[in-house]
A and B are shown apart, each in its own frame.
Chain A
């Protein structure tokens, strides 16, 4: 039986709470009952081993038990959130979904059957192995979503080693590799997944306080919002043992503020990629941006300043793009890193690197400096085509209080002059009221690769 160890364990947790959803508690026993019902429902629709099923929903008891049933049946799950609904027809076609199951806000569902058979060679290979599958759509840096196919069994295998039982907030989304990792890490160890209706800092803090949450897996962008919102001051967050952040580089100034606000909480940088799964890391210490990979079950190497990883949890491949793994199974993460002995620091995506008249700049470094300025709430730095220097840096900044652009420019440049060489000081400075992060609470930098493609 597929992942039988997982189901044995879930059974053993019986009446303990698996999920808190809309403040209602669902026990492990109930979750497994629902899973049984799903087996009947899936059988009725002739969805069995190798069937691709798109699931639109969140971490509700029904949607989670459906995921469990799909794993147990060796089917292929394609999770999707309602926010990405516009992509559903595309995702159904790319993943060759045989059915779509949509959950509404009340956790009721509808099943739509499609007339499709799996033709993709990669999916066929997985089906022949009789392993369950997981398809994650990765937004990618070029805009067109890539469908990442995983062997779900291989992804889950790492949770067989027992970990601590924790109450964890489901901050990362249902269709995100980090969200799936959080879910199974929590369930495999008998913990409780505390879900939230949205990721407003106040809502998150309320849930942490009310349910005495231990672990908050999140993103630097959210942590910045959290610190600025002051919500953390108005709630008792003393239950928090661990704040984990991944998905983007952490600004040093923000890490410092977190350290002060949460002196007793461990701050941990994680490293996850849709293509790789989530890899265990250790931060050098709580206020350090340096991390070390545990290399438990995976290997890392640095090639020309870029991180490469070989892991058994790596994807089987893309369903709709050329294979990214080299012949030996190594994957180029495109993350530029600085190395110090066994520790390394993530500088940013090699694809975000801006070449200013021959000098290289990582936007994250400049953003981190801007975030240290008073009255700055958020900042996105990006390269803008320029006939003189090829590229120059542009900064789009959200202020806390209104301030005239001319005054702000003066202040910004005076601030940067003592901290950065001239070529790292933004030439274009703009103020904006629009938020500069997406629904994944991850920074969105304007992309201006085409000359004249500047957004106005």
Chain B
């Protein structure tokens, strides 16, 4: 999957998640929007819901079934969920991994 496509999915789901779980702060989201840690736009429940939503969207719209939040992903030194851009890359690499597996 191309990174632009993945980023579109991530941003679209993030907008929904902020609307549904956010603390009311609106505003533009982009590649650098921080998803986890300090200054994150979502709490942990919001983050988990976002990840599930992205997985569901990938399956529904692109026919790709993947698990984004695995123990392996959690144990990476720098979180694959840091920002929208990093998450989009994570989506692409997980898809590539599953396809070659």
Contact = CB atoms under 8 A, between A and B. Distances in A.
Contacts of A388: 44, 47-48, 51, 69, 74
Given A405-B60, A427-B49, A428-B52, A389 B44 contact: yes
Nearest to B65: A456
Contacts of A405: 56, 60
B33 to A, nearest CB: 19
A410 B73 contact: no
21 contacts: A387-B69, A387-B71, A387-B73, A388-B47, A388-B48, A388-B51, A388-B69, A389-B45, A389-B48, A392-B48, A392-B49, A405-B56, A405-B60, A409-B53, A410-B19, A413-B49, A414-B20, A417-B20, A422-B43, A425-B21, A427-B45
Nearest to B67: A452
A388 B65 CA distance: 19
Contact of B45 (A356, A414, A456): A356
B23 to A, nearest CB: 10
A413 B53 contact: no
Interface string A388-430: 1100100000000000011001100110010000110101101
Nearest to B20: A413
A357 interface: yes
Interface string A339-370: 00000000000000000110000000000000
Given A387-B73, A409-B53, A413-B21, A427 B43 contact: no
Interface residues of A, number: 21
B93 interface: no
Interface centre among B16, B52, B53, B70 (most CB of A within 10 A): B52
B45 A392 contact: yes
Nearest to B49: A427
A425 B65 CA distance: 23
A375 interface: no
Contacts of A430: 56
Interface in B38-79: 43-49, 51-53, 56, 60, 65, 69-71, 73-74
A386 interface: yes
Instruction: Classify the secondary structure of B's interface with A.
Output: helix
Contacts of B49: 392, 413, 425, 427-428
Interface centre among A409, A414, A427 (most CB of B within 10 A): A427
Given A392-B45, A410-B16, A427-B49, A387 B70 contact: yes
Given A389-B44, A389-B48, 19 more contacts: A386-B48, A386-B69, A387-B70, A387-B71, A387-B74, A388-B44, A388-B69, A388-B74, A392-B52, A406-B16, A409-B20, A409-B53, A413-B20, A413-B49, A414-B20, A417-B21, A422-B43, A427-B52, A428-B52
Nearest to A384: B52
Interface centre among A356, A387, A414 (most CB of B within 10 A): A387
Nearest to B53: A409
Interface of A: 356-357, 386-389, 392, 405-406, 409-410, 413-414, 417, 422-423, 425, 427-428, 430, 456
Contacts of A389: 44-45, 48
B21 A423 contact: no
Contacts of A417: 20-21
Nearest to B12: A406
A382 to B, nearest CB: 14
A357 B44 contact: yes
A356 B43 CA distance: 13
Nearest to A452: B67
Contacts of B16: 406, 409-410
B48 A427 contact: yes
Interface string B5-33: 00000000000100111000000000000
A427 B19 CA distance: 14
A451 B21 CA distance: 26
A406 B15 CA distance: 12
A425 B22 CA distance: 13
Given A387-B69, A410-B20, A413-B21, A423 B45 contact: yes
Contacts of B70: 387
Contacts of B73: 387
Contacts of A422: 21, 43, 45-46
Contacts of A392: 45, 48-49, 52
Contacts of B46: 422
A406 B47 CA distance: 17
A413 B51 CA distance: 15
Contacts of B20: 409-410, 413-414, 417
Contacts of B65: 456
Nearest to B57: A406
A425 B47 CA distance: 12
